[in-house]
Amino acid sequence: MTNPLLKSMKIGFIGAGNMTQTMIKGILESKLLRPEQIIVSNRTPGKLIKVTELFHVQTRDHNEQVVEECDVVILAMKPQDLPAAVEVFANHFEKHQTIVSLAAGINLKDLERLIPIGRLVRVMPNTPAVIGRGVIGYLTQDNDDKEIVADLMEDLFSNLGVMLQVDTEDQFDALMVSCSSGTGFVFEMMMYWQDWIQERGFSDEDSKKMTIETFLGASLLAAQSAGIDIEELQARVTSKKGVTAAGLNSMRELEIERALRISFEKASMRSKELSLSGKR
């Protein structure tokens, strides 16, 4: 059941960029909150005009005002901008406030150092959240408020896609690589698909359509085949010594799985490197 307290809550966004706009759209479409319950600030005024026009939310000139007025404050600036931005208002938070960080590479321990008071949570949406088909991972602090924060995250963001609570920073990292960077990896494969089709005389439009529908069709079929493993679905389109089998054998000989695993590991290593260097 949705938290009845949401009706009176104020949700703040510091940073009015792409992810903020995606999240506001999702929250408003879910009808959980009214536009006047959402307050946004930004470094420069341009995007504030846009969010007011698009969503009729409130805006403030200073980040501190958002911190003072809101129950939930979403830190939605780029990771490299976060520490300096937060320094100004870090001591203004109170114990009951929930502070959501969207920043990759800044773990909960780093956040606790930056913001000593308040309930902290890391949230990682991926770009399909913009059409309500995202994967939204979150990691809360391990304390007595864990469930309250988890319920709040589910209420606020489930309109953006599938919510997944993770237990460790390593899992958070894995979710970021596989689902957020993973969206980029899937696009890379889609580009190879489209190129191959196009080289066989199909138009730009048709080759794109064929690619998208193949990925979409396979994904939806897997999503709608409850109790059937992906391996079994693959077996159903593969007859022994047939056309699909020939292609799959080649993929296995070429060790596509190994190539993908290495790419995932490299992305994960890069995330840890950026986090350690503080550069992000």
Ligand X SMILES: NC(=O)c1ccc[n+]([C@@H]2O[C@H](COP(=O)([O-])OP(=O)(O)OC[C@H]3O[C@@H](n4cnc5c(N)ncnc54)[C@H](OP(=O)(O)O)[C@@H]3O)[C@@H](O)[C@H]2O)c1
Task: Find the shortest distance in angstroms from Cβ 72 to ligand X.
Answer: 15
Q: 148 phi and psi, to 5 degrees?
A: -60, -45
43 is a contact residue toward ligand X (CB under 6 A)? yes
Range 197-216, binding ligand X (CB under 6 A): none
Residue of 63, 98, 159, 207 that binds ligand X (CB under 6 A): 63
For the chain, give percent helix, strand, coil, nearest 5. Answer: 60, 15, 25
Nearer to ligand X, 226 or 276 (CB): 276
Least distance from C-beta 126 to ligand X, angstroms?
6
**145 vs 173 by CB, closer to ligand X:** 173
- Residue number with CB closer to ligand X (198 or 268): 268
Q: Which is nearer to ligand X, 14 or 152 (CB)?
A: 14
Does 42 contact ligand X by CB under 6 A? Answer: yes
Residue matched to tokens 């966004």: 13
Distance CA 38, CA 142 (A): 28
Alpha carbon 84 to its chain centroid, in Å, reads 23
Q: What is the DSSP letter of 96?
A: T
CA gap 170, 119 in Å, rounded: 20
Residues 87-146 that bind ligand X (CB under 6 A): 102-104, 124-127
Q: Which listed residue (39, 77, 135, 267) binds ligand X by CB under 6 A? A: 77
Cα–Cα distance list, 18 to 22, 129, 201, 270 (Å): 6, 11, 37, 23
Residue 80 CA to its chain's centroid (Å): 18
Place of tokens 């504030």: 48
Q: Which residue is nearest to ligand X (CB)?
A: 17
- Edge-first strand order for the sheet with 134-140 is 58-59, 38-41, 11-14, 72-75, 98-101, 119-124, 134-140, 161-165
180 is a contact residue toward ligand X (CB under 6 A): yes
* Nearest distance, CB of residue 86 and ligand X, angstroms: 8
Among 14, 67, 72, 99, indicate the residue that binds ligand X (CB under 6 A).
14
Residue 92 C-beta: closest distance to ligand X, Å = 14
Tokens of 87: 């320094």
Interacting residue with ligand X among 47, 60, 119, 122 (CB under 6 A): 47
**CB atoms closer than 10 angstroms to residue 185:** 15
Contact status: 81 vs ligand X (CB under 6 A) = yes
Of 194, 199, 224, the C-alpha closest to 210 is: 194
Angstrom distance (rounded) from CA 149 to CA 153: 6
**Which lies closer to ligand X via its Cβ, residue 57 or residue 76?**
76
- Contact region with ligand X (CB under 6 A), list: 18-26, 186-194, 205-213, 245-253: 18-26
Beta strands 38-41 and 134-140 are: unpaired
Candidate list 28, 76, 90, 149; residue touching ligand X; CB under 6 A: 76
- Per rule CB under 6 A, is residue 78 in the interface with ligand X? yes
Residue type, 24: I
Q: Which is nearer to ligand X, 45 or 116 (CB)?
A: 45
- For residue 16, state whether it binds ligand X (rule: CB under 6 A): yes
Q: Which residues lie near ligand X (CB under 6 A)?
A: 14-20, 41-44, 47, 63, 76-79, 81, 85, 102-104, 124-127, 180
